[in-house]
Amino acid sequence: MTVSCSGSIVQTARILPCGDSALSVEFGDTIDPDVNDRVLALDEVIRASELPGVLETVPTYRSLLVHFDPTVADYDSLTHRLLSEAQSLTPQTSTGRRWKVPVAYGGPFGIDLEDLAQRHGLSPDALIAIHAAAVYRIYMIGFMPGFAYLGGLDPRLATPRRTQPRAQIPAGSIIVGGAQAAVASIACPSGWHILGRTPVQSYAPQRNPTFLFAAGDEIVFDPIDPALWTDLEQAAQAGEPVAEEIGR
């Protein structure tokens, strides 16, 4: 069964068990802003409801993972409540924040930029212009703390992941893989292609807030002169956000 949401067709929510202490509420099987809006809307409802036994919620592209204490929450009652809430949602278009994120492209900051430009028949400057022209939606935070998965990559830049993943890429790497883009929050293994790097610390355990970005936020990338990197990196390490919150 399907339902219409903001002009798109999305699947009616269904629940899948994930072991004995978690379940997944699924709204579809595509990367779609309407589907993601429903995920975020349900997440907000659950957080506000403070359901007994619910410990944590984790929004993803198309589903919401709900962790619960099975000694407190009855599985059947919880699933009934979640399905009822999911079916009665009236999600609005996301009103998350929009961030302007500085990026040093190419050279030592974006070691795959020239190869990707050649692969797609573009000059490096043209690839940068295309990448920086888009408005990216943060669909989910995951894989690593603060790692932001982005939708909105121009199809001209879609590129299969590397056949040989790297053991580690730097924190702040601006990367693409398949039809997705991302901001790597910490140094991590990756098979994605590195176009540039940002000094923005999207994850900083010593900072309040620890996570700068959230699902539903938007990002626009601002190409900067690599000569500015050191000053911006020092500012970020001093606790400044460096990324600028701008109007949507």
The rounded distance, in Å, linking the Cα atoms of 196 and 176 is: 10
38 and 122 together in one domain:
no
The answer to whether residues 151 and 33 touch, using CB atoms and an 8 Å cutoff, is: yes
Does residue 145 sit within a domain? yes
- C-alpha pair distances (Å), 211 with each of 59, 100, 142, 221, 245: 15, 16, 11, 18, 14
Residue 245: the pLDDT is 92
3-22 residue pLDDT tens = 333 334 445 799 999 999 99
Instruction: Quickly list DSSP for 109-140.
Output: T-TTHHHHHHHTT--HHHHHHHHHHS-EEEEE
Domains in the chain: how many in total?
Answer: 2
229 and 119 together in one domain:
yes
Residue 140: the pLDDT is 95
Residue 1 scores a pLDDT above 70: no
**For strand 63-68 and strand 22-26, is the pairing parallel, antiparallel, or unpaired?**
antiparallel
Quickly state the pLDDT bin for 94 (edges 50, 70, 90).
Answer: low
Structure-token pair, residue 179: 């039809």
Q: Which element (helix H / strand E) includes 180?
A: strand 180-183
Structure-token pair, residue 83: 């399905």
Does residue 92 sit within a domain? no
Beta strands across the sheet bearing 22-26: 14-17, 22-26, 63-68, 54-59
43-67 residue pLDDT tens = 999 999 989 999 999 999 999 999 9
Does residue 13 sit within a domain? yes
Does residue 127 sit within a domain? yes
The rounded distance, in Å, linking the Cα atoms of 170 and 110 is: 10
Domain with 181 in it = 98-246
Based on the number of CB atoms within 10 Å of its own CB, is 19 exposed (0-12), middle (13-18) or buried (19 or more)? exposed
pTM of the model: 0.88
Quickly state the pLDDT bin for 2 (edges 50, 70, 90).
Answer: very low
196 and 105 together in one domain:
yes
